[in-house]
Chains A and B, each alone.
Chain A
């Protein structure tokens, strides 16, 4: 008895799935047949809604064509892998041109709309059939919109990550200004990851340039909290283990106040007011002395 019911249910499910598949096939055939007209309608709607303004009409039409074909293909096969790859590829091409997330999502939803309208028109005589068609169409269309949007956002995030990486690498130069004297100007916010990279780069620089004194300039660091201060202390300690003295410069009065208020132990840090002072102190430590050349008699006369 139970098995009977179960098999009935399975059968019903099976026939329903079959019916959906058949409807989808019919739907795809319809969309293929009306490809030119629907595509044009869609391109018109895109222009009308002032989406993709960064692209020319021809480009929009070309992209619309390939999106349309991909869309119909996904409806037919139900596999989103190809679409995922296409969405990634499309995002890669259009993100540098300044296309926004709402535009991408907007055009996909427009296409969904255009196609749904064409289905309404075709099946308007038979309400039951229209319902069945929409049952088949809507989930597939939603999945497509979802895939494209996710692909676009992921691509954007990938680009952002890449750029962060680039900024990080650019923003921690270790510069040699004199024999055995390095400067490390820090600009921007320091977080744990950056502090670590910074320290590693500095230590490598100390070994490569055989540095004895390092001036760390933090004029460009907007705020310093306990974590950043501890990172600084660690950098100083690690440099000392490599045999280099560290001078920290550019501590603003606000930062100095904050550090004293939060009670960071800065006794190990050799601080000098500004970068110029820091370099002068470093030169003193290294035994350099900078003197102005004597003016020539001819120059004195003039």
Chain B
């Protein structure tokens, strides 16, 4: 299933609905890179609340998406990482160091708004 990408004022929100295969992840990457340009968005939120497993490929792809979005002139926030997933990721050494993360969608939007208010387009 394709991940639905919603436009919300200056941001686009990719809300993952089910576990994704590697192909679907790559599809998400391409879709986001395209939609950020199409909507002239300033921020991207990727909601991973439903994922109860994140393997190294998923984490690597998310990181690649974030880097790519940055090159397209927008910021990425990953929201909704579950406690178990966070713990497993840290154990595997997958810590998404330079990527902004937030608790949930609401927090993610607040986070982007703050960055917008500061007039900053770079990662802190």
Interface residues of A (CB under 8 A from B): 196, 199-200, 203-204, 206-207, 210-212, 234, 237-244
* Distance, CA A210 to CA B82, complexed state (A): 12
Identify whether the interface residues of A are mostly helix, strand, loop, or mixed.
helix
Bound together, the chains give a CA A243 to CA B83 distance in angstroms of: 11
In the bound complex, what is the Cα–Cα distance between A200 and B102 (angstroms)?
A: 18
CB distance from B45 to the nearest CB of A (A): 12
- B33 beta carbon closer than 8 Å to chain A: no
Q: Can you report 23 A-B residue pairs in the complex whose CB atoms are below 8 A from each other?
A: A199-B87, A199-B90, A200-B87, A203-B84, A203-B87, A210-B107, A211-B103, A234-B90, A237-B90, A237-B95, A238-B89, A238-B90, A240-B101, A241-B81, A241-B89, A241-B95, A241-B96, A242-B81, A242-B83, A242-B101, A242-B103, A243-B102, A243-B108
Q: How far is the CA of A17 from the CA of B83 in the complex (A)?
A: 64
Distance (whole angstroms) from the CB of A1 to the closest CB of chain B = 70
User: Main secondary structure on chain B at its contact with chain A?
Assistant: helix
B86 at interface, CB cutoff 8 A: yes
Q: Report if B79 contacts A (CB, 8 A).
A: yes
Instruction: Tell me the minimal C-beta distance from B33 to chain A in angstroms.
Output: 23
Determine whether the beta carbon of A238 is less than 8 Å from that of B87. yes
Give bound CA distance, A211 to B107, whole Å.
Answer: 10
Determine if A234 and B91 form an interchain contact, defined as CB atoms under 8 angstroms apart.
Answer: yes
Q: B102 — which chain A residues lie within 8 A by C-beta?
A: 243
B103 pairs with A241, CB closer than 8 A: no
Chain B residue nearest in CB terms to A244: B103
CB-CB nearest 6 A-B residue pairs: A203-B83, A243-B102, A243-B103, A241-B86, A238-B86, A238-B90
Identify 11 new A-B residue pairs, CB closer than 8 A, beyond the known A200-B87, A234-B91, A243-B79.
A206-B83, A207-B82, A210-B104, A210-B107, A211-B103, A234-B90, A241-B89, A241-B96, A241-B101, A242-B81, A243-B108
Q: How large is the interface on B (under 10, 10 to 19, 20 to 34, 35 or more residues)?
A: 20 to 34
Could you list which residues of chain B lie within 8 angstroms of chain A, going by C-beta atoms? 79, 81-87, 89-91, 95-96, 101-104, 107-108, 111
A241 pairs with B90, CB closer than 8 A: yes
Q: Which residues of A contact B111 (CB under 8 A)?
A: 243
Q: Which of A204, A207, A210, A238 has most B Cβ within 10 Å?
A: A238
> Which B residues are CB-close (under 8 A) to A242?
81, 83, 86, 101, 103
With both chains docked as a complex, state the minimum distance between the C-beta of B107 and any C-beta of chain A, in angstroms: 6
Please determine whether B103 and A203 come into contact, CB atoms closer than 8 angstroms.
no
Query: From B78, which residue of chain A is reached at the shortest CB distance?
Result: A241
Chain A hits for B85, CB < 8 A: 241
**Which chain B positions have C-beta within 8 A of A239?**
86
CB A116 to nearest CB in B, in angstroms, measures 59
Question: For A212, what are the chain B residues with a Cβ–Cβ distance below 8 Å?
Answer: 103, 107
Tell me the minimal C-beta distance from B79 to chain A in angstroms. Answer: 7
Q: In whole angstroms, how far apart are the Cα atoms of A204 and B103 in the complex? A: 11
Residues of A within 8 A of B103 (CB): 206-207, 210-212, 242-244
